[in-house]
Amino acid sequence: MKNALNSILAILFLCCVITASAEVYRWVDGNGRVQFSDQPPPDVNAQKVETRPATGKGSASGGKNYQQQDQEFRKRRVEEDENAKKRTETEKQASAKQKNCDAAKSQLAALQAGGRFSRTNQKGEREVLDDKAMQAALSDAKQAVADWCQ
């Protein structure tokens, strides 16, 4: 039984080898199309085409093996994650800068509109700004707009 199985496997192997080494012919048909076949057609000038076995990328002939591919994939993945973190941080900073710019512009517009303004001092008391304090607050607001809105 075992010998019969071995014989069958050997025959199948030989069939695969014979099929793999089959000849390929090329010719141009009557419509001008290039045709390929394992048998040349009668009364047509067919040329024999040399075939070479295909080599996979992971073969020993210069391709990268699984471990190298996996290592490169992991490296690319880490770089992508780092770039995503940097983009997120940059977007957060840009958003915070825009909010501070808007607040500074709003404060400047309110001070330029005039009126009475007050602020809370260190004791928690409310004090109304006089002309000198208004000019200082206006100068500070202009500086804040210049700093945040560039």
pLDDT value of residue 50: 82
61 phi, psi to nearest 5 deg: -90, 40
pLDDT value of residue 143: 92
Higher pLDDT, 110 or 89: 89
* Token output for 119: 């602020």
- Per-residue pLDDT tens for 109-143? 988 888 888 888 889 888 888 888 888 888 999 99
Residues 6+ apart with CB under 8 A from 116: 128, 129
* Token output for 62: 């210069």
Angle 8-14-17 (CA atoms, 0-180°, nearest 5)? 145
Average pLDDT for 74-92: 95
- Per-residue pLDDT tens for 32-75? 888 888 888 888 888 888 877 766 554 554 567 889 999 999 99
